[in-house]
Amino acid sequence: MNLAGQKVAILGAGRSGRAAAQLALRQGGSVTLYDSASSGTFAGVAAEIARQPGATTETGRGCEADLVVISPGIETGGEFAQSFAQGAGEFIGETEFAARFYQGRVVGITGTNGKTTTTELVQRMVRAEGMSCEACGNYGRPFADVVLGNDHPEAVSLELSSFQLESIETFRPDVAVWLNFSSDHMDRYRSVEEYHAAKRRIFENQQPGDTAVVRLGEEVGDLAARRVSFSGTESGGDYELQGSSIVSDGSMVLNLYTTRLRGVHNAENVMAAVAAVEALGVSREAASEALAGYAPPLHRCELIRTLDGVEYINDSKATNLHALEAALLSQDRPTILIAGGKEKGLDYEPLLPHLEKSVETAVVFGEIRDRLAAIFSQAVTTRVAESLEEAVGIARNAAPHGSTILFSPGTSSFDMFSGYEERGDTFRATVQALR
């Protein structure tokens, strides 16, 4: 892709946008970086890159560019992005843009839950085989930032959200991983089907020589790539869970109790990662070695402490129903659940059987607290808190010896926090301060 003499507009001055702008500049483009925020947002941007703070749809309608690259945080079909698309020779996302300058192997990983853990596991397993690999995309560094490096890694483990997949054109992963699917981001998509279609784009450019790793029973349509299946709850997949052992072709791949990973959801993450790296030629011995000492990411079923016989688990990364359900299924002790956050238009009724079976008391907080209280109280005793700190105090008083206080919000954090990380850090600090 030759950008010499081309006008390139980059939408969004965050990490992805900045990396894309720098990459476009290096490839010879005349680059302008647009953002609706004030000029302070552009601090540190290279002087050779023109800056347009306070950008609006009017700005977009007046922009003519050979190429427009959109950051994943900006809604592709929204009025702001589409105002720039009208005058664009080509309109693509940062993932598509970076991929055009990368020659190594790509493992693309999508799904509603488990992406980050699987992305980390793939990186570790590939490196254990002696190949260079960088985890990037929706996790860690933007893909464009990796491509900016002088020495490209032999492979990338690329976490892909639906937002990134909305704006691909030719992007083709050697291995595409589909972990699971459940309703999410209904504040961005008009329907569950639209959200599903965006994620399903991960497969659309694959060819018969590629590999698609798909959870058994998931509907993803006809695939050109070789399909490999896995499941922690059903038999019949190429990888399945028998007790605590992951089995493939009748042989044990590994026993989860030799790792720090627990629960069906983590078993499926491991299966997907092993299947993905085997397609790259990584041995099962190297994959098993990579799991030794691996700890799950922060905010994902993270044990904070045990106090007075009660475990406190931080699962702040559970920003949707499927993640909350997976966290509940992984508990084997009486559970006090803390849930709540932003109203995303999700249907919480399907959780009621799980609450009735696993939860002693639910404590709800955040913007959605009143609606959650009305729903959850149909199955369990439910208390309402005005803050996360108050929720922790209520949960502590309700938790008997030998129980678990599970902080698994089941929705996003943006009503009260900057992200799930700040929310999880607040929970951790509150718990650690208990005496």
pLDDT in tens, 307-362: 999 999 999 999 988 889 888 987 878 999 999 999 988 889 999 999 999 999 99
Residue 431 is encoded by which pair of tokens? 């718990």
CA 420/CA 429 separation, integer angstroms:
14
∠ CA 85-88-89, nearest 5°, is: 135
Q: Where in the chain is the domain with CATH 3.40.50.720?
A: 7-92
Instruction: Quote the CA–CA distance of 374 and 220 in Å, as a whole number.
Output: 35
In sequence order, what are the beta bridge partners of 303?
313
**For 365-386, what is each residue's pLDDT tens digit?**
999 999 999 999 999 999 999 9
The CATH homologous superfamily for domain 7-92 is NAD(P)-binding Rossmann-like Domain (3.40.50.720)
Which pLDDT score is estimated for 264?
A: 82
Instruction: Tell me the CATH number of domain 102-291, given options 3.30.450.20, 3.40.50.720, 3.40.1190.10, 2.40.50.200.
Output: 3.40.1190.10
In the chain, CATH 3.90.190.20 sits at: 302-432
Contact 158/122 with Cβ under 8 angstroms?
A: no
Give the model confidence (pLDDT) of 293-315 as tens digits: 787 778 888 888 999 999 999 99
pLDDT 10s digits, 397-416 = 999 999 999 999 999 999 99
- Residues 155 and 106 sit within 8 Å (Cβ to Cβ): yes
Return the pLDDT at 152: 95
The reply to whether CATH 3.90.190.20 applies to domain 302-432 is yes
In the structure encoding, which two tokens stand for residue 63, read together? 């922009």
The confidence score (pLDDT) of residue 96 equals 97
**Structure confidence at residue 186 (pLDDT):** 56
| DSSP tag of 257 | G
Mean pLDDT value across the chain = 93
111: CB partners within 8 A, 6+ apart: 118, 177, 178, 179, 180, 181, 199, 215
Find the helix or strand (DSSP H, E) in which 105 lies. strand 105-110
The pTM of the full predicted model, rounded to 2 decimals, is: 0.78
- The three-class DSSP label of residue 85 is helix
